[in-house]
Structure 1
């Protein structure tokens, strides 16, 4: 351990981050400093080690032969440190804290929690239903599920499901919907916080420039969905919001036309903390459930259109 006394820990952190992330800018973002500061720390560390870790090229830093071996061991060492810090912060290893939007928790997750418990009886979930983008490096959240473009700073994001939108309404309201243009006869219930408009679906359906008559506007997507179930209007929904209601028959997706929004559902986690086995198990289970949910939704829509 005495060898470490001659090397500054911040310099080793800068070396490891730059090597792992591939650029000074990315390392600076993760460490909360400037790219110039990272470069200086790397230079100081190389001087302290007496070895060159990176070649400076027009394309950026390229690890030397020695640097690649050194970085591999350094990353493993910092991974162990991160796990040690995480274990001190977590009170109960059997509890997995999940951060999801309230609408995802209410309309997708709660229906399926029994199946997770059956597959993983040794893992207890703590659901943090919030739209706040928590700091995954400092909070006790293990895994988050967010909807967006996947480019949130400071997190590792993995695509779960591309978001597609489509109209849904009660079975009674769908009776006279034979072609897409018929939907213009109905009133719409609107999610006032939606990241997209009806025009996205109209373009896909060949109705670009059309407008819906708005009956009610809600500040929460789940309330708009309840209004659609109650027959108060047609809603522009997406798979994880309306899939269960369509599959169960309380809503109908009257056309087989879906439009991509450019957004998606993403798993997000900290870049600096290793994933626990519980987190990996949860993500695998969610992917299985999403795949099965989409299979059931597609089958239900196909059955309706075939009648």
Structure 2
């Protein structure tokens, strides 16, 4: 079954990488499952090397079989949905990134539950971009430019980026931007390089600071862990204003250069399915999020 699922997804996308993202596994795992299926069947399913193209192509047998296999999975999904316990109209499924959950949402969510005890909240934290339609998501918060096809969006919060560190680093001689070269850098790699999120290289250039080796330092693919590393005194991070606000307010972090900040093209958006525009639970959570955002800006 795993081999069939790997083949079906790869055949639809003509890509092991895209299939891997859909099935939440590695491209190597997809390739291995497809090879095992080919060995079991005794035939090839893909032509893997085509001159002038990096994409996969299907063999004649695979082209013939794919529609039936796809319909088979669709029938399985429909059958399973009939066996599932009917979901309650009071269940509210919210999706956010792990970092947004840890550094912003979880410390505020009690107030929503107190205001709306009639809703049962289910929080889905995911580093990947979830499919609202196939995964039963009611509403969520996404970080980006606000253009997600097929979904309704409303701006929640804008953001700025600036250096943050533990107060201990000030005692060690971090007094002006030029001192950065003497301290470890913490790199947030939770977003793709082409997302527009500021990097240390870009921040330093925009502030005319030369001579800092931006290749060094700890690289982490989770914004909350980057913040925690800064709190622990492991280096200087480019703090995202929304995520570091509470750590700044309580003194776990400080801004060593108070006037140094960069605007960001990305922002936080409330995102929901258009057919839920007038759904009570979605409206309630969206209004609550927007009220919370107003209180901290």
Common fold, TM-score beyond 0.5?
Answer: yes
| Aligned 8 A contact 1:98 1:125 in 2 | yes
| Aligned 8 A contact 2:187 2:199 in 1 | no
Aligned residue in 2 for 1:278: 281
Aligned residue in 1 for 2:226: 224
Radius of gyration: which is bigger? 1
Aligned residue in 2 for 1:137: 133
Aligned residue in 2 for 1:114: 110
Q: 2:87 aligns with which of 80, 91, 105?
A: 91
Distance 1:107 1:218, change over 3 A: same
TM superposition shift of 1:284: 1.8
Q: TM-score, normalized by length of structure 2?
A: 0.62
Counterpart secondary structure, 2:148:
coil
Aligned residue in 2 for 1:241: 243
Matched, 1:263 2:260: no
Within-5 A mapping of 1:154-233: 154-175=150-171, 176-194=173-191, 195-207=197-209, 211-212=213-214, 214-233=216-235
Counterpart secondary structure, 1:150:
coil
TM superposition shift of 1:146: 0.7
Within-5 A mapping of 1:95-106: 95-106=91-102
| Aligned 8 A contact 2:276 2:282 in 1 | no
Distance (whole Å) between structure 2 residues aligned to residue 258 and residue 283 of structure 1: 29
Q: TM-score, normalized by length of structure 1?
A: 0.60
TM superposition shift of 1:259: 0.9
| Aligned 8 A contact 1:137 1:273 in 2 | no
TM superposition shift of 1:206: 4.1
The CA deviation string for residues 153-182 of structure 1, in whole angstroms up to 9 with x for no partner, is 221221111231111110111344433333
Distance (whole Å) between structure 1 residues aligned to residue 281 and residue 275 of structure 2: 17
Counterpart secondary structure, 1:93:
coil
Distance 1:129 1:171, change over 3 A: same
Distance 1:179 1:105, change over 3 A: same
| Aligned 8 A contact 2:140 2:272 in 1 | yes
Matched, 1:291 2:294: yes
| Aligned 8 A contact 2:156 2:268 in 1 | yes
TM superposition shift of 1:127: 0.4
Counterpart secondary structure, 1:227:
helix
Counterpart secondary structure, 1:128:
strand
Counterpart secondary structure, 1:145:
strand
| Aligned 8 A contact 1:161 1:266 in 2 | yes
Unpaired runs of at least 5, structure 2: 1-84, 192-196
Cα RMSD of the aligned pairs, angstroms, is 2.4
| Aligned 8 A contact 1:171 1:251 in 2 | yes
Aligned residue in 1 for 2:46: none
Aligned residues: 206
Distance 1:235 1:273, change over 3 A: same
Counterpart secondary structure, 1:244:
helix
TM superposition shift of 1:148: 0.9
